[in-house]
Structure 1
Amino acid sequence: MSKAAEIELASVTKRYGSAVAVDAISLRIPAGTYCCLLGPSGCGKTSTLRMIAGHEDVSDGDILLGNTMITQLPPARRGTSMMFQSYALFPHLDLIDNVAFSLRMKGVERTERRNKALEMLKLMQMDGYASRRPAQLSGGQQQRVALARALITDPEALLLDEPLSALDPFLKIRMRAELKKLQTQLGITFVHVTHSQEEAMALADLIVIMNDGRIEQAATPREVFETPATAFVARFMGDHNVVSGRGAGSADGLALLDVPNGGKFAATGTAPGDGAPIDIAVRTDRVRLRPSDTKGLGFTGTISNIEYRGASVKLSVDGAGIEDFTAIVDERSFFEKPASVGEAVPVSWDAGDAIVLGRLAT
């Protein structure tokens, strides 16, 4: 296998006519990293992947793979390989010829390319199916063949466009583990596009969260989970409540905000000027059903929904100026003193579980 290479994007922009799909993003993906580009549909993640692969032209900016500027190079000369969402296997060819196809296009002699293809199928534990055709395989088996075909050229980086989206939920979990194991075994850089927060958290060393063509945050899964950079990240990852209001100074080392038609809340971080917009995030799994010991770290609201999740219970609580505030509470503690929809409950949290969020420059 080739050695892994760092990928660097420098102010990369992609325009389709007057529409900007990717807006001057800069990103460094260290060599040997499993990177997930994560975000909702239309955020620019697939366009970014396709620009790295060379399947989309870069409107502005540059892309480097290692020390090589690849912005203008054709896909076959980039040192990258792409695995498509549809797998794009040839139905009339057996697995060996499917995997060996790119070597055939490069003029590699038949015996050599078939031996290399069989070697790649062994890596994917698919050598016993070498004479079969794609239609005779399950979805998971087809994915392994597509991976073997992408890896046969010894790429420095493997690019994956939503590779698990066509699989059933149980197979997704199994293939997730296999992808991570394969990346660790090969040691090359993986860049994987997904819209699944769970998938990105399970796989990535580096999560790049995109929205409206821009990068909201690029960090480790733990950092994204514990300290979301913006209100979009906090909402999209789903593990924080976002409370928006206006700055109201600071007290006891905490930033204060006023919520319209509501109370005053506090959070760890820098307070903006009085009256300036401010967002804070509160960890959903750290919210307790009891009154706050400190002003600004809780409120009393009405339960609007309850979802039993086995090990935990999710409650939605509405308060003055706050809607759909989420509390994830331990199943045992909830049923020791159960609450019901329509009931008024106090909710509270610790200062360390509420943080001031940043804002992207406009």
Structure 2
Amino acid sequence: MSKAADIDIASITKIYGTTTAVDAVSLKIRAGTYCCLLGPSGCGKTSTLRMIAGHETVSSGDILLGTTMVTDLPPARRGTAMMFQSYALFPHLDLVDNVAFSLKMKGMGREERRAKALEMLTLMQLEPYATRRPAQLSGGQQQRVALARALITDPAVLLLDEPLSALDPFLKVRMRAELKKLQTSLGITFVHVTHSQEEAMALADLIVVMNEGRIEQAAPPRTVFEQPATAFVARFMGDHNVISGRVLASDASGQTIEVPNGGRFHANGPAADTGAPADIAVRTDRIRLGDPIAEGYGFQGIVGNIEYLGATVRLSITGAGLDEFTVVARDTDFFTRQPKIGEAVPLSWDPGDVIVLGRPQHRNP
């Protein structure tokens, strides 16, 4: 297997007509990293992946793989391999010939390429199915064939475009484990596009959250979860309530945020200009039900919905000028208090659980 390569992306932009799909993105992915590009549809993650692969031209900026500037190189000369969302297997070929196809295109002899293909199928635990055609396989087996076909070219970087999207929920979990195990054993750089927060958290060493063609945050999963950089990241990851308002007062001890037509909340953080827009966040699982409210660290809300999820219970709350506020309570805590829909309930949290969020510098008009 090729030695893993660093990926250096320097201010790359992709413009389609009058639309900027990727807007001056810069990112360094260390060799041997499992990186997930995460974000909603249309955020620029797939365009970024395809520019790394060479399947899309770069409007401006540069891409360096290892020590090689690959910005203008064709895909076959980049040292990357791409696994497509659809798998794109040839229905009329058996698994050996599917996996060996790229080696055939390079002119390798039949016996040598089939031997290499069998090695890859063995690595993917598919050797017993070598003479079958793709239609005779399950979705998970087809995915492993597509992986074998990508890896047979000995890439330094494997690029994966939503590889788990076609699988059922139970198989997704199994294939996540297999992907992580494979990446660890091969030691090469994986760049994986997904819109699933759970998938990115489970797989990645580095999560790159994208929005409107730009990077909102690039950090390890635990940092993205515990310290989201912006309101978008906090909302998109789904683990935090975002409280947006304006700075009412600010001093060395922190800020007081006032929500339009609603409550006032405190946050420890850097001083900010009075009247400036501000976002703070509180994790959904750090909120207590029924405890006394310390000023600025909670509010009285009305229960709008209750979802029992087994070990936890999710409550949707309104109040203090907040349209949506989520509490994820342990089942024992919920059933001790057991509030009903329509009931008023005090919510509170600790000062240390409040995060002051940054704001993006600029956006496309």
TM-score for both structures, normalised by structure 1: 0.99
* 1:100 alignment partner, SS class: helix
Letter in 2 for 1:306: I
* 2:288 alignment partner, SS class: coil
| Regions of 4+ moved over 3 Å | none
Could you tell me whether the CA contact under 8 Å between 2:293 and 2:299 is conserved in 1? no
In structure 2, distance between residues paired with 1:24 and 1:251: 35
* CA shift for structure 1 position 210: 0.3
* CA shift for structure 1 position 254: 2.4
Alignment of 1:60-139 (within 5 A): 60-139=60-139
In structure 2, distance between residues paired with 1:292 and 1:30: 47
In structure 2, distance between residues paired with 1:273 and 1:288: 31
* 1:247 alignment partner, SS class: strand
In structure 2, distance between residues paired with 1:292 and 1:252: 26
Letter in 2 for 1:130: A
How many residues were matched structurally? 362
Could you tell me whether the CA contact under 8 Å between 2:83 and 2:160 is conserved in 1? yes
In structure 2, distance between residues paired with 1:290 and 1:255: 25
Letter in 2 for 1:128: P
* 2:108 alignment partner, SS class: coil
Over 3 Å counting, the alpha-carbon distance change for 1:251 and 1:273 in structure 2 is closer
* CA shift for structure 1 position 299: 0.6
> Cα deviation per residue 1:159-179 (whole Å; 9 max; x = unaligned)?
000000000000000000000
> 2:156 aligns to what?
156
Matching of residue 5 in structure 1 with residue 12 in structure 2: no
* 1:51 alignment partner, SS class: helix
More moved, 189-198 vs 252-261? 252-261
Matching of residue 318 in structure 1 with residue 318 in structure 2: yes
* CA shift for structure 1 position 264: 1.2
In structure 1, distance between residues paired with 2:99 and 2:255: 58
In structure 1, distance between residues paired with 2:320 and 2:358: 24
Could you tell me whether the CA contact under 8 Å between 1:256 and 1:271 is conserved in 2? no
Could you tell me whether the CA contact under 8 Å between 1:89 and 1:134 is conserved in 2? yes
* 2:135 alignment partner, SS class: helix
* CA shift for structure 1 position 252: 7.0
More moved, 233-242 vs 328-337? 328-337
Could you tell me whether the CA contact under 8 Å between 2:293 and 2:346 is conserved in 1? no
In structure 1, distance between residues paired with 2:47 and 2:268: 36
Alignment of 1:1-362 (within 5 A): 1-250=1-250, 253-292=253-292, 294-362=294-362
In structure 2, distance between residues paired with 1:60 and 1:303: 50
In structure 2, distance between residues paired with 1:136 and 1:217: 42
* CA shift for structure 1 position 292: 4.5
Could you tell me whether the CA contact under 8 Å between 1:292 and 1:349 is conserved in 2? no
In structure 1, distance between residues paired with 2:124 and 2:278: 50
More moved, 261-270 vs 15-24? 261-270
In structure 2, distance between residues paired with 1:291 and 1:338: 13
RMSD, matched Cα? 0.9
> Cα deviation per residue 1:304-337 (whole Å; 9 max; x = unaligned)?
1111110001111111211211111010111122
> Cα deviation per residue 1:14-47 (whole Å; 9 max; x = unaligned)?
0001100000000000000000000000000000
More moved, 117-126 vs 260-269? 260-269
Percent of residue pairs bearing the same amino acid type = 73
More moved, 70-79 vs 312-321? 312-321
* CA shift for structure 1 position 66: 0.5
Could you tell me whether the CA contact under 8 Å between 1:247 and 1:271 is conserved in 2? no
In structure 1, distance between residues paired with 2:114 and 2:93: 13
Could you tell me whether the CA contact under 8 Å between 1:303 and 1:316 is conserved in 2? yes
More moved, 254-263 vs 36-45? 254-263
* CA shift for structure 1 position 226: 0.2
TM-score for both structures, normalised by structure 2: 0.98
Letter in 1 for 2:270: T
* 1:119 alignment partner, SS class: helix
Over 3 Å counting, the alpha-carbon distance change for 1:346 and 1:252 in structure 2 is farther
